[in-house]
């Protein structure tokens, strides 16, 4: 319970592990460029109240573990991060602009997985232990408390 975050109308613990790569897996994220990627990701996350739990910028990809509010979907988070970092890096580093003349720094797509402290089995067992009877439809996965 101590890891839960609080919003105006919610309590949550939503964590995503994201990985995204440079287009053509080019090793562009070293030195100043890598540092700038890290700074931009931090800035974007601060803007949307996303906590960075862990992160790493490799030469051709980025890994982050993020704690996110429930109003942001994984696809929206990636849209913000990839879009804004790509645009800013292209403007600030002319050698990147020459390498990626099509104006796309990142490859299409990304990897995302949820992370948590409780297994699916533990949650299902907790729900099974709640009061309720099976509905008349015979669906034993969704109980209703009798009146």
Active site residues per annotation? 126
**Torsion over CA: 110, 111, 117, 123 (sign):** positive
Sheet-wide strand order for 51-57: 51-57, 61-67, 15-21, 111-115
Residue with tokens 């090793």: 27
Distance CA 64, CA 13 (A): 16
Residue with tokens 């890096």: 89
Distance CA 136, CA 21 (A): 50
């Amino acid at each position: 319970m101590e890891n839960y975050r609080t919003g105006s109308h919610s309590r949550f613990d939503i964590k995503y592990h994201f990985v995204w790569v440079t287009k053509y897996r080019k090793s562009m994220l070293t030195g100043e460029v890598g540092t700038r990627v890290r700074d931009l990701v931090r800035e974007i996350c601060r803007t949307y109240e996303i906590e960075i739990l862990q992160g790493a910028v490799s030469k051709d990809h980025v890994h982050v573990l993020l704690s996110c509010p429930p109003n942001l979907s994984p696809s929206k988070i990636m849209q913000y991060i990839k879009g804004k970092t790509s645009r800013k890096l292209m403007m600030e580093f002319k050698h990147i602009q020459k390498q990626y003349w099509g104006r796309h720094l990142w490859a299409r797509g990304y990897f995302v997985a949820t992370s948590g402290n409780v297994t699916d089995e533990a949650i299902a067992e907790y729900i099974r232990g709640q009061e309720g009877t099976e509905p008349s439809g015979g669906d034993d996965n969704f109980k209703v408390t009798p009146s």
